[in-house]
Amino acid sequence: MLADRKFKAIKIGLMRSKEFGLLRGVAMHGKTFLTTDIPTAATNGRDCWFNPDFMFKQIRNGDKGAAYVMAHEWLHKAGMHLVTYRRLAEQDARVTNMAADFWNNDRILCADPKHILTAMPEDENGKQMGLYDLKYHGWPIKRIFQELKQEQDEKESGNVGIGTTGSNNVAVGFDEHDWDGAEGLTAEESKQLTEDITQAIRQGIHADAKAGQGGLHDALGLGELVTPKVSWRALLRMFMNSTCRKKEQSTWRRPNRRFLHQDILMPSLQGNSINEIVIGRDTSGSMLYGDRLKIATSEIVGIAKAISINKIHVIDWDGEVENHEVYSSDTLSTAPAIKTATGGGGTDPSCVSTYLKEKGIKPDCVIMLTDGEIYNWGNWTSPLLWAITNDRKITAPSGKTIQID
């Protein structure tokens, strides 16, 4: 009972702290269980389980270890890791677990760099149990996964030599990720969970007037969740109409017919067409939310049909350009659909910018459809729009960014 009361006291302390108070809504969402059915701690993205014996050992060593474990599980929920990275887990659940843990632990250190509230848990021998490497600071989970996966593939044994911490350099973590439990969620339940967690984060931000002055608010970039959203379809249409179009010019060669019935001679406008655009589609093996990619592509096609475009380059890419087709507004009206996205390699959009330079393609604008799990965004010269299909709020370092939901 004493351990249970202490557990609750630590939880309340974290929720009230300026460092982790942002996650108070996430902590309250779902259920929390104390059970010996697991060795340490676990989450399925909605509920959390903690082994009371393990947590009590951390409490006896000081509250910071237990607080760290709680914050770690909450971050899995806040990042919606078990929903967002389900496809990565299908490729390699162990490496996906490691990538998510590296990401979480980096964020905890960003929020509490002086270890005022948290400290990585220790085993019975006093060794740290979590995964941390400064190398991965600021990296997205997908990039960490790719790096770890490459290291693993280069080793004769997939269990030795990747990651850091642990004896004999064997990577270890202290919690479990219930991918089976997350997989059991229906599409509607997953969508509802995402909405609930997003709302919980909004509540956390609103409840803490000082959020954004440090802690996880800055580390996660969650402030965008409270920004009023404008329809991505409207933003996409605005981009194509204002950025991609050439400037209109008046001409007397073709009088404006709207005024002829009034015997008024006025110039008409010309040059309002788009000469050439590029649509780049991320088809990497870990590309998420494929349905959103199709929806966004369909929306672009609809806009393209409404305005005059001479050339529409559709480029499928992952680590390199996989396919390149050229359409026009006229041919798009007869084509039933753009070819199904193929590919399955890494994620490097710079291959598209390099490809355009090599081919001498100078579009009026470029629209890149991707999940945003990118570390090399490339160098671009044309007006650029990133259409992000990820539930996590990601802002590209160049061009404009819209979120496809």
Q: Above 50 in pLDDT, residue 24?
A: yes
pLDDT in tens, 37-56: 999 999 988 899 999 888 88
Phi, psi (rounded to 5 degrees) for 318: -135, -95
Lowest mean pLDDT among 123-137, 262-276, 359-373: 262-276
CATH no. for 232-403 = 3.40.50
The answer to whether the CB of 282 falls within 8 A of the CB of 368 is yes
Closest CA to 98 of 107, 86, 90, 89: 89
* Interatomic CA distance for residues 321 and 348, integer angstroms: 9
pLDDT of res. 73: 94
pLDDT at 232 exceeding the cut of 90: no
Most confident of 59-68, 155-164, 257-266, 330-339: 59-68
Residue 337 above 60 pLDDT? Answer: no
What SS3 class is residue 221?
coil
Predicted structure pTM score: 0.59
Encoded tokens for 225: 């969740």
What residues have CB less than 8 Å from 81, skipping those under 6 apart?
Answer: 45, 100, 141, 177
- Stretch (H or E) spanning 316: strand 309-317
- For residue 366, the cross-strand partners are 278, 384
How does DSSP classify residue 338?
A: P
Q: Is 314 helix (H, G, I), strand (E, B) or coil?
A: strand
What pLDDT does 332 receive? 61
Task: Flag whether pLDDT at 58 surpasses 90.
Answer: no
Given the DSSP bridges, would you call strands 365-370 and 175-177 parallel, antiparallel or unpaired? Answer: unpaired
Q: Is residue 235 over pLDDT 70?
A: yes
Q: Output the six-digit token pair for 41.
A: 């701690």
> What average pLDDT does the structure give for the chain?
77
Give mean pLDDT, residues 19-31: 87
User: Token pair for residue 262?
Assistant: 């009034």
Question: What local confidence, expressed as pLDDT, does residue 99 receive?
Answer: 92
pLDDT grade for 197, boundaries at 50, 70 and 90: confident
Which of 2-11, 163-172, 396-405 has the least mean pLDDT? 163-172
Of 243, 2, 231, 220, the residue nearest 111 (C-alpha): 220
Q: What is the pLDDT of residue 105?
A: 92
H-helix or E-strand spanning residue 277: strand 274-282
Average pLDDT over residues 309-335: 80
> Counting beta carbons within 10 angstroms of the beta carbon of residue 94, is it exposed (0 to 12), middle (13 to 18) or buried (19 or more)?
middle
User: 100-129 pLDDT, tens per residue?
Assistant: 999 999 889 888 888 899 999 888 887 888
Main-chain phi, psi angles of 375, to 5 degrees:
-120, -15
Q: Which of 111, 16, 127 is nearest to 65 (CA)?
A: 127
How do residues 389-403 score in pLDDT, each as one tens digit?
Answer: 876 678 888 898 888
Domain boundaries, the chain: 2-223, 232-403
Residues 6 or more apart whose CB falls under 8 angstroms from that of 31 comprise: 46, 47, 48
- Of residues 148 and 124, the one with the higher pLDDT is 148
DSSP 9-64: HHHHHHHHSTTTGGGHHHHHSS-EEE-TTSSSEEE-SS-EEE-HHHHHHHHHT-HH
Dump strand ranges (E) for 93-220.
175-177
pLDDT: is 305 or 376 the higher one? Answer: 376
How far apart CA 2 and CA 276 sit, in angstroms, is 69
Tell me the CA distances in angstroms from 134 to 71, 103, 137, 363, one per residue in order: 19, 10, 5, 39
pLDDT greater than 70 at residue 370 = yes
Tell whether the model's pLDDT for residue 338 goes beyond 50.
no
Pairing of strands 321-327, 309-317: antiparallel
Q: pLDDT band at 139, cuts 50/70/90?
A: confident
pLDDT of residue 70: 94
pLDDT band at 170 (very low <50, low <70, confident <90, very high): very low
